[in-house]
Amino acid sequence: MVIPVHDVNPVRRTPYVTYALIAANVLVFLVTPGTAGSVSGDNGLSQLCHLQAFLDHYAVVPQELIHHRMPGLVPTGETGVGPQGTGCVVAPPDYDKSPALSVLTAMFLHGSWLHLLGNMLFLLIFGNNIEDRLGHLRFTLFYVVCGYAAAYGFAYLNGDSGDPLIGASGAIAGVLGAYLALYPKARVWVLVPFLVFLPLRLPAWMVLGFWFALQAVYSSGEGVSDAGTVAYAAHVVGFLAGMLLAWPLRAGTPAPPEPRRLLWGRQARHI
């Protein structure tokens, strides 16, 4: 997978919403119970129990979203000793959870620093131009709609799953789909792992088209061993939703600056 680092596509206004979304995601991650374990490497039982209780409350669970099957017992965040040894204490939930609202809260939850930073990198690079094209308010609505489309799409395909779904990936996939629809010829600086990280300047249609193709393949369970832990189908649905929403704006979108030629290697580092 190539790693995007910058796009050659200037904006006319400061992307306040994009910056605010990044700040909110980082802040929520820092205050999420159990986050200390992902930073220090300490994944003790107490950390995991607190994290599981938090996710059961605020994450999307497909069977709750589609069938409204709410669990009778949930982790409380405490640890205890039972017949099978030490584990997380469970009890009837002491809160009323709204499955529809959990889609929104889940957009700001991440399971690790790698999960968070990967999402925020894509949002930072591609979100500013979509916000610039849509305006601050419409971009906010667009981001939320894509996140909901991704979550509901994944839930309909996995309606019996009781596993929590978290992350901003679905909403950000919508941003990527919109970018491909509006700026397919924009150039994107990427790092390609080939012995060393090779810098290349590639068209957006190639970078984002390759990303989408990988998500589509992985969503079928092919070519990846952790297909059960990453919601690739949510990425696919979010991406398509973003493309469809942005497509009517193609005609009035100014074209990005067109570089004279593709540069790579040592030449690219002097640009």
pLDDT confidence of 4, banded at 50, 70, 90? very high
39 pLDDT above the threshold of 70: no
- Compare 196 and 241 and report the one with higher pLDDT: 241
Coil, strand, or helix at residue 257?
coil
Q: What is the pLDDT of residues 162-221, one digit of tens each?
A: 899 999 999 999 999 999 999 999 999 999 887 678 888 999 999 999 999 999 999 887
Residue type, 99: P
Q: What is the pLDDT of residues 120-134, one digit of tens each?
A: 999 999 999 999 999
pLDDT confidence of 36, banded at 50, 70, 90? low
270 pLDDT above the threshold of 70: no
Residue tagged 């680092």 (tokens): 5
CA end-to-end distance (rounded Å), the chain: 23
Average pLDDT over the chain, rounded to an integer: 87
Q: Which two tokens stand for residue 164?
A: 């929590």
Question: pTM to 2 decimals?
Answer: 0.87
258 pLDDT above the threshold of 50: yes
CB atoms within 10 A of CB 245: 20
Contact 103, 152 (CB under 8 A): yes
pLDDT confidence of 269, banded at 50, 70, 90? very low
CB atoms within 10 A of CB 223: 9
Q: What is the mean pLDDT of residues 240-263?
A: 82
Q: What is the pLDDT of residues 137-152, one digit of tens each?
A: 999 999 999 999 999 9
pLDDT confidence of 271, banded at 50, 70, 90? very low
263 pLDDT above the threshold of 80: no
